[in-house]
Structure 1
Amino acid sequence: MSPRTVLGPVLGPYARLFRAVPGAAWFSLAGWVARLPLPMLGLGAVLLVEGYSGSYALAGAVSGTLALSAAVAGPLWSRAMDRRGQGAVLRRAMAAYLVTGLSLVAVVVGDAPTWTWFLLAALTGASLPNIGAMVRSRWAAALADAERRQTAFAFEAVVDEVVFVVGPPLVTVLGTLVAPAAGFTTGIVLGTAGGLWLARQRGTEPAVAPVPAGPAPRRTAALTPAVLVVCAGYLGVGTVFGAMDVVVVGFAESVGAPALAGVALALYAGGSLLAGLAYGVARLRGSLATRFVVTAVAFGLAAQALWAVSSLPLLVGAGFLAGLAVAPVLVSGASLAESRVPRSALTEALAWTNTGLTLGVTTGSALAGAAVDAWGAQRAFAVPALAAAAAALIALAGAPLLRTRPAAPAEGPVSRVGDAVGG
């Protein structure tokens, strides 16, 4: 049996998706380049600050400041894009991002007062819009069929995994072999180039939908009960992500094989990538709410295998199993959030879900680091296992809220390619 025969049923729907949406390949590729800084900036900031200060504590604090400010500012940028269009807002954001990011490098390299490091880290993070939400919003605007939107969201989940596979090794090589500032600076340049490239693609930009009059609806349109449940569930999922990075590295070092930490994390991401491809083309029964709850529970159950980790082979197996459950819960959550908000708040709603993930990653890293120091690396696997269980419980507890749909219909103006695609 040829690889084409095996892979055809899986990859065929993705190929047809790109043929159906004019310009999709370009906006997805631009979005991938613009998303590369996501894993590069945090690690790059650590390498930058530690390289010039010698302090990991200071490096972690600066990196955390950047991540938290990005998590808070992302939905605000997305709200502005929903109201004024992606292109105009994105160009302004990228200009601020380039200036503040390069300024952060300058003050660290120039040994300026430490408070300027934190100020510019916060401004750099606050200048970074949520690119993933923008790309998913373009797919949603171009595709009328819910199943095809699921396929598109699954593809973007795979793109996210590729970003997190490529970004960390790239920034590590640059930051250690070239210069401490090289990895962070590359992330700034790549993010700016990708963002400006995406901003130029006006033909696939979602049209600005009418927003109901009055200040209150504008503030709350994106935060429907279903979106809040997804955000809370994603907080648990993100905690697993952040904790796994720390605990896997600690465990690999504790058994004398630190180099294998990257292999274990790569297989964890690989499991998610494969599951994302398969989930995106599956034709599943049940409502979007049911799918989210089921995938969240599956995620929570799969991660319980981490309790049994006592050797590297068991870590690889348990990590791959847990990874298989990652992409389905992320895709189902994005699809659910997309279906529960009006078009006028879609990009903002998707950005809020990513904010939940980002805050979870920050929380998971901190909790796991403390757990490794206090309990040892093997016992610290309790952190991702319990966080995954919490994500499942949140989805189950919030299930009654997931049926709530937006008061305004989600249809209406979609994009400049909507008429050509038609779903």
Structure 2
Amino acid sequence: MSPRTLLDPYLRLFAVPGSASFSLAAWIGRFPAPMLGLGAVLLVEDASDSYGLAGAVSGALALSYAVAGPLWARLMDRRGQGTVLRVAMAAFLLTGVAFVAAVEGGAPRWSWFLLAAATGFSSPNIGSLVRARWSAVLDPDGRQTAYAFEAVADEVVFVLGPPLVTLLATLIAPPIGFLTGIVLGVAGALWLADQRATEPPLHVADPAIPKRRWSVLTPTLFVVVVTYIAVGAVFGGIDVVVIGFAEEEGAQAFSGLVLAVFAFGSLLAGLVYGLARLPGTLATRFVCSALAFGLAAQLLWGVSSLPVLVACGFLAGLTIAPVLVSGTSLVESRVAPGVLTESLAWTISGLTIGVTAGSALSGAAVDAWGAEAAFAVPAGAAAIAGLLALGGSVLIRERPAPTELVEDRTTG
């Protein structure tokens, strides 16, 4: 089988008019995701000499991003992505620059938290926006391939982003890494905002139907989001612990490269997952991939040097894309009418809430125990993720009420 034949499912995605342009714009717009949290750690640690404070400030940024994501998404489902993105990006640019100025200018530390939170709150979930566009133009089989491709796009960002922000921060100046993430995010989001022809159709709320603010939180979405909180704690914990471990090993400039290895493993797994036609329902795939993720991360207990960390990170990374793609696909397959973007935003918010907790706990663990022992935080969070998915398997196998669904596509 030729490489072209093997990659045909991916090539067919970009036969859709405008798809290459909106996917590329969203890819650029996602660079803040791996750059701002890590950039905030490097910026604050340089100014304060405390990983605990750096992790807490980074966590504040991530937490506000998680809270705001579904709110921005709800607005976009009703007002359109382009209009809302322009407003958000103006606020994102202003607050991001103000945060850097406050840290570098020695402003009171409470202002660091306030401005970091404002920066996160101003940033919509770009990943949910591009997945909503794919969902509007593809059938269920095409969506699995598209979601896998977007998971790969996420991982490419996470391969490139950490080394980029680390090198800019350590070799030039700490603010440069953070500000580069801001600029890339604004550029990509504004490009996406200009592409009105491929926006998902607006959903205008019917005034005759009573509003139920939390109706979007179905049992399926709840299980996936709770599991993703633990998955996100792994991501947030790894960011902080790897930086601390690399510094203890005398090679902090290489911490971004080490983090990229995790993402590279996930990238490879995502490419394969998007091409595979796996047996079982989406619910089964989600539970199995979460258990594999939880088991693979236990390799972190054995980290004793940077080469060992690189090897463990690559192997653990192979399990990341499957759990993210299967969870997103499961949520999309059972989405309620008119809340697709919001539902997808909740999954990313779950990840981001976890990043918040993981960053803060790992920063405190590095300060208290040292970086090598602090790998217990991401390893433990991964184990919890697997257990949460397994414990929630009964809920996600139950077929939701027909009135809550457009279509349940988990069985075909």
AA partner of residue 27 (structure 1): F
- Matched residues in 2 for 1:255 and 1:192: separation? 35
Q: Deviations over 1:262-288 (max 9, x none)?
A: 444322211110000000111112111
CA distance in 2, matches of 1:40, 1:135: 19
Structure 1 length-normalised TM: 0.87
Distance 1:125 1:252, change over 3 A: closer
- Structure 2 counterpart SS, 1:334: helix
Aligned AA for 2:12? Answer: R
Q: Does 1:304 align with 2:328?
A: no
Q: Deviations over 1:29-56 (max 9, x none)?
A: 1111111112222233344445566666
**Which of 378, 385, 392 is the matching residue for 1:384?**
378
- State the shift of 1:118 in Å: 3.2
For 1:305, the aligned partner's letter is L
Residue 117 (structure 2) aligns with: 122
Could you say which residue in structure 2 is the equivalent of 1:88? 83
Q: Quote the RMSD (CA, aligned, Å).
A: 2.6
- The equivalent of 2:347 in structure 1 is 353
Residue identity over aligned pairs, in percent, reads: 65
Secondary structure class of the residue paired with 1:237: helix
Residues 81-132 of structure 1 show CA distances to partners (whole Å, capped at 9, x for unaligned) of: 1122211111111122222223333444555454444333222211111111
Per the alignment, residue 416 of structure 1 pairs with: none
Distance of 1:361 and 1:370 partners within structure 2: 14
Any conservation in 1 of the 2:60–2:117 contact (CA below 8 Å)? yes
Deviation, 1:305, is 2.8
Counterpart pick for 1:174 among 168, 173, 178:
168
> Where do residues 168-207 of structure 1 align in structure 2 (5 Å cutoff)?
168-207=162-201
* Contact 2:294-2:385 within 8 A present in 1 as well: yes
Residue 64 (structure 1) shift: 2.6
Q: Is the 8 A contact 2:57 2:112 kept in 1?
A: yes
Distance 1:209 1:11, change over 3 A: same
Match in the other structure for 2:69: 74
In structure 1, what is the Cα distance between the partners aligned to 2:73 and 2:104?
A: 32
1:8 aligns with 2:1: no
Question: Matched residues in 2 for 1:126 and 1:387: separation?
Answer: 25
The answer (yes or no) to whether the contact 1:52–1:109 under 8 Å persists in 2 is yes
Q: Distance in 2 between matches of 1:270 and 1:384?
A: 18
Equivalent-residue separation in structure 2 for 1:82 and 1:154 (angstroms): 23
Other structure's SS at 1:220 match: coil
Deviates more, 1:123-132 or 1:45-54: 45-54
Shift of 1:201: 0.6
Does the CA-based 8 Å contact 1:339-1:405 persist in structure 2? no
Whether 2:304 is the aligned partner of 1:325: answer no
The alpha carbon displacement at 1:199 in A equals: 0.8
Structure 1, unpaired ranges of 5+: 412-423
Question: Is 1:236 aligned to residue 230 of structure 2?
Answer: yes
Among residues 264, 286, 292, which one is paired with 1:292 in the alignment? 286
Deviations along 1:229-285, whole A, 9 cap, x unmatched? 000111111111122233334444555665654444322211110000000111112
Letter paired with 1:222: V
Once residues 393 and 58 of structure 2 are traced to their aligned partners in structure 1, the CA distance between those partners, rounded to angstroms, is 35
CA distance in 2, matches of 1:318, 1:175: 26
How many residues matched? 405
* Shift in alpha-carbon separation, 1:317–1:169, aligned structure 2, 3 A: closer
- Tell me which of 137, 146, 156 is aligned to 1:142: 137
Distance apart, 1:6 and its partner CA:
6.2
Q: More deviation in 244-253 or 351-360?
A: 244-253
Sort the Cα spacing of 1:66 and 1:376 in 2 relative to 1 into closer, same or farther, 3 A.
closer
Q: What amino acid is the match of 1:118?
A: F
Aligned letter for 1:42? G
The structural deviation recorded for 1:61 is 3.9
User: What CA distance in whole angstroms lies between the structure 1 residues aligned with 2:366 and 2:179?
Assistant: 31
Deviation per residue, 1:269-321 (Å, 9 max, x gap): 11110000000111112111111111111212222333334454443332222
1:224 is the counterpart of 2:196: no
Equivalent position of 2:13 in the other structure: 17
SS in 2 for 1:286: coil
The aligned counterpart of 2:410 is none
Task: Please report the TM-score for the alignment, with normalisation by the length of structure 2.
Answer: 0.89
1:168–1:206 CA distance, 2 compared to 1 (3 A):
same
